[in-house]
Amino acid sequence: MLPLQGHLLAHIVRAALLIGSLWSAFNGNAGIGALLIVSLIASLIVFEITRRAFGITGAWLDLLFALLVAFDNLFGLALGFYATVPYWDVATHYTTSIFLAVSALVLAERAYPPLITQAPKPTIVAALVLFALGLGALWELGEYASDILRATTFQKSLDNTMQDLFVDLIAGLIVGVAWANRKT
């Protein structure tokens, strides 16, 4: 896929975010509409960074980030999938952890090539697992804060929290093992 095609597909996803934000606002949910606008802006920032610095890899990262934002916020929140689709929370943890672990790996390979090439593979795998787990824990803290401050019900149970963190661990492990076993 050419970089232009990847960015074009990401722009189509961003258009869906804009439509979703307008739809949410017109249906009386300005908070979700505002969140989708913030997501759209974040996606445009990622587009600009990836377009300038990452070439064809950037097109993939741009598209993946746009899809991730749509998956989590447009489908999950605006269309209510968190409440209506079983295990939607698990799916979002998995996809988010995969994306963030891959992004961290790409950034590390670009910014610190000697680190990636000289460090033992198990160390990189462990770092990716811990990175995914750490971000998952931050996500869970955000859910907890939302429940306390906004009276949401993201934190359903300790079992749900542990399941989410286990999924984050698996996602980090999958990215790490895939990287360690890639053909160079």
Q: What is the pLDDT of residues 65-87, one digit of tens each?
A: 888 888 888 898 888 898 899 98
Q: What is the pLDDT of residues 96-123, one digit of tens each?
A: 888 888 888 888 887 788 888 888 999 9
pLDDT above 60: residue 2: no
Rounded distance between C-alpha atoms, residue 39 and residue 47, angstroms:
12
The alpha carbon dihedral of 76, 90, 160, 103 has a sign of: negative
Model confidence, pTM: 0.75
Task: Fill in the amino acid letter for 33.
Answer: G
- Where along the chain do its domains lie? 1-85, 86-184
pLDDT above 90: residue 169: yes
